[in-house]
Amino acid sequence: MSNENTRGNAPVGAGADRGRSPYNTGTGFRTGTGRGTTRRKEADRPRALTVFALVDLAALCLMFGAVIVGFGPVWGSLGYLLPAVGGVFVGLAVAWVGAWRRFPAVVVTALAVVGYFLFGAAFAVPHTAIAGVVPSLDSLRELMLGSVEGWKRFITTAPPMQSFPDLGVIPFLLMLLVALIAGTIAWRAKHAVWAVVPVLVGFVGVILLGTVDEALPVVQGLVITIVALLWGAVRVMEARVGTHSISTESSQEATRRLRWYRVRTGATILAVASLAAGFTGPLLMPDPDRTVLRETVVPPLDIHEFTSPLVGFRHYKKEVRDEEMFTISELPENGRIRIATLDRYDGVVYDASGDGGVTGFYTRVGDEIATTASGDPMSIDITVTGYRGVWVPEVGSLTGVSWKGANAQAQTEGSYYNSDTHTAITTAGIRPGDSYTLSTLVTPEPSEETLKKSKIKLDVEMPETEGSGMPQELPAKTAQFTGVETDAATKLFRIRDGLQADGFLSSGLEGEPLSRPGHSAERLNTLLAEEEMVGDDEQFAVALALMAQQAGIPARVVMGFYPDKQSEYEEGKPWSVLGSDVHAWIEVPFEEYGWVPIDAVPEEKPQMQPQPESKEEPKPPVLQDPEPPEEPEHAKAGSVEDDDKEEAENEGFDWGLLGMILLAVGIPLLVIAGPIVAILAYKARRRTARRNAEQPADRISGGWYEVVDVVTDLGTSVPRGATRRESAGVIAGAHAVPSTLMLAHRADETVFGTNEPTPAEVEAFWAGVDELVGGLRSTVSTRQRVRAALSLRSIWVRVAERRRAQAVARATGTTKEK
């Protein structure tokens, strides 16, 4: 006979708590009438082990699929599927194990962490895993750093994310957390419908991490809504129907038919309602602006750390005018190579702002860049021969940058692009021997006649310049050139024509009139005050931009290269760009054409000769016979005493004066320069000793010490007693130079290897040290570099380490004696 009666009550004679499972919550399964309780066989079994767990799994997977689709626009390919689906798999697996074994929250969290590091290598960063599956030290490092810093990098990097495989940590981790929480609620909570909440949080999170371009918002919303409502209805129906005692096959069949009937009916109603809402909703409700984090969060790159390239304009024109800067494989017709777009003037220098609005943001980019620009696609190769700097020479609107060479990884990691000003920068710097490929969109420039008939966008808000920073002659000169004209385009070209007519082009070269460099307010004030204005592109471009702004016309300055009449350029062939090919121009926004370049270079004129002081030819001087010297009254002819006395007086005066000068100048100079020379000499001697150590392994260790000392002098504290890899992690995090980690790995492999390093390996390692140190110093200002060169921090740290080592040695020796 059955242990339960037909009404589902406890067996006769059984106590109230007899047979109760220790896992039971105390709430029995109610009968349909609610007059008693019954205990089915599944009561003591975790839900994760029942057939209904498959229903929960199917519902969660459908909703997760709708969430994952949102990564499509920001990723740019289907590459996001592996980390996102992998995160769902790991999260659901941990949730299922936790529900099966009824682990507490602490154990489930520990399992999730283990799963994150164990499977994250294969799903999130397979490029760092051994054979693409087994976690390596690089995999663990990427997973640890990605979980903390990856979120910031994800929203401050220009899409598509497929260019940055290390960012696969973000979809993996996000979906792991969502799946873990949702699965735990679905398989363990009394009200499983709350599992929809983490799904919605994940859905919103994907939107915030994405772009303004949505994936399939209507389809995603309908899928999540239909599945959530239908799944919730099924769970309620199970609680009502599935708890009854089943005693006959006919009642079981009836229950199954009832379940499927309610499922089909509910699904049909929800599908019809959702489709109706999907078609009518967009028509009845306005299309709101999509809010994403990357549009509101300011990127971490501070562009003001880098000097405006316009400061070095005269350097190209004079010092390196005949030197080859780089070679470009192909230049579009009437094309220009842009170095930087400068939009903020402070009275001293024209600089790039990058503070948002029309000035845009500098966001991290890779070999693919999402853009809304249009034009003819081109692929351009650039090989650097003499150019140095962080500003990347580029053409058109970039859709990607692919770096090549030994420094390619650091340059890719440090590449930033401002799509509003079309300016690229790499914090790793560019030096001779580097090369890269530009994927770009090029549009033809409209003719001047077309522009004169067009309208200028006057509502563009440019960074303001304080009145005290503007040249005093600027308003009067602007009014002189524009007159009573009111049309913006006409005023612009009148200002341009006035500068060209009254200006004379001179870079201060040999045979040219004197022309001071710079574009400060004082220099421009001098330029505009002259009757015949003498200057080069630097002065005239800045003057034209400021005068245009004075007339109410938005304008910005651009520095770059383009071929002129003196350039050795042939259309359709590679062009070797020289320093003399540097130019500066302005850009003005036209309604039909966007930002259009306008040149301000004066037209060629006959050579301007400097004015002589007097037109009269000087007469040759008439030489007269000198008068014989008068003899002193008391002098005696042939006396040697006076000659000796005069010579002695002259000798005493000269040597005394020289001694006074040496004492007055030499002592302060020695006091000031002595410590500086001593510090620099000590650091140079320390570096030489490390590089020429007796043992090759000591040379490798010395190279790593050199990196740590440079970083210490730059202000970054490296923990005492840290391993090279730990120290490299600190340095990479503080200075955003991932190549530090690679150098630390090379040092460990060489020092702890079985074979003695060869001289070639030592030289290669020190070459990496020099490259890394140069990259670290290039990321800071000149003032910081000078301060680091004279810093004593690394010296004191090494002294403290030696004292500590000596103390340990003495203590060890004393212990042995005892």
Distance in angstroms (rounded) separating the CA atoms of residues 163 and 299: 18
In this prediction, residue 291 carries a pLDDT of 63
H/E stretch holding 805 reads helix 793-817
In this prediction, residue 269 carries a pLDDT of 61
In this prediction, residue 571 carries a pLDDT of 85
Q: Looking at per-residue confidence, does 499 or 660 come out higher?
A: 499
Q: Looking at per-residue confidence, does 160 or 657 come out higher?
A: 160
CA distances from 373 to 369, 376, 443, 526, 551 (A): 11, 10, 10, 40, 29
Residue 678 has pLDDT above 80, yes or no: yes
Residue 338 has pLDDT above 90, yes or no: yes
Please provide the DSSP assignment of 78-89 as one string: GGGHHHHHHHHH
Compute the average pLDDT of residues 150-159: 80
581 CB burial (10 A radius; 0-12, 13-18, 19+): buried
Q: What is the pLDDT of residues 636-664, one digit of tens each?
A: 444 445 555 555 555 444 566 666 666 65
**C-alpha of 364 from chain center:** 4
Q: Looking at per-residue confidence, does 128 or 646 come out higher?
A: 128
Q: Is 471 left (phi over 0), alpha (psi -120 to 50) or beta?
A: beta
CA distances from 358 to 354, 421, 442, 555, 583 (A): 9, 8, 20, 11, 23
Q: Residue 796, Cβ neighbours under 10 Å: how many? A: 11
In this prediction, residue 35 carries a pLDDT of 37
The mean-pLDDT minimum among 399-413, 436-450, 458-472 falls in 458-472
Identity of the amino acid at 380: I
22-36, 293-307, 503-517, range with greatest mean pLDDT: 503-517
Distance in angstroms (rounded) separating the CA atoms of residues 102 and 422: 57
Please provide the DSSP assignment of 447-493 as one string: PHHHHHTS-B-TT--PPP--GGGS-TTHHHHHHHHHTT---HHHHHH
Distance in angstroms (rounded) separating the CA atoms of residues 417 and 293: 18
End-to-end CA distance of the chain: 84
Q: Looking at per-residue confidence, does 686 or 647 come out higher?
A: 686
In this prediction, residue 300 carries a pLDDT of 56
CA distances from 62 to 4, 179, 229, 779 (A): 39, 12, 13, 47
582 CB burial (10 A radius; 0-12, 13-18, 19+): buried
Distance in angstroms (rounded) separating the CA atoms of residues 259 and 267: 12
Q: What is the pLDDT of residues 277-307, one digit of tens each?
A: 555 555 545 555 556 676 666 455 778 788 8
Residue 453 has pLDDT above 50, yes or no: yes
Q: Please count the residues of the chain.
A: 818
Compute the average pLDDT of residues 172-187: 94
In this prediction, residue 818 carries a pLDDT of 35
Q: Is 507 left (phi over 0), alpha (psi -120 to 50) or beta?
A: alpha
| 3-class SS of residue 645 | helix
Compute the average pLDDT of residues 598-623: 58
Compute the average pLDDT of residues 695-710: 86
Structure confidence at residue 15 as a pLDDT band (50, 70, 90): very low
In this prediction, residue 268 carries a pLDDT of 67
In this prediction, residue 601 carries a pLDDT of 84
Q: What is the pLDDT of residues 191-233, one digit of tens each?
A: 888 899 999 999 988 888 887 677 777 788 888 888 888 887 7
Q: Looking at per-residue confidence, does 678 or 94 come out higher?
A: 94
Percent of the chain whose predicted confidence (pLDDT) is above 70: 77
In this prediction, residue 47 carries a pLDDT of 84
Distance in angstroms (rounded) separating the CA atoms of residues 602 and 564: 13
Q: What is the pLDDT of residues 524-545, one digit of tens each?
A: 999 998 888 999 999 999 999 9
Compute the average pLDDT of residues 401-414: 90
In this prediction, residue 22 carries a pLDDT of 39
Structure confidence at residue 429 as a pLDDT band (50, 70, 90): very high
**Mean pLDDT for the chain overall:** 80
Residue 1 has pLDDT above 50, yes or no: no
Q: What is the pLDDT of residues 341-386, one digit of tens each?
A: 999 998 999 999 877 777 888 888 888 887 888 899 999 999 999 9
User: For the chain, how big is the Rg over CA atoms in Å?
Assistant: 39
Residue 726 has pLDDT above 50, yes or no: yes
In this prediction, residue 497 carries a pLDDT of 92
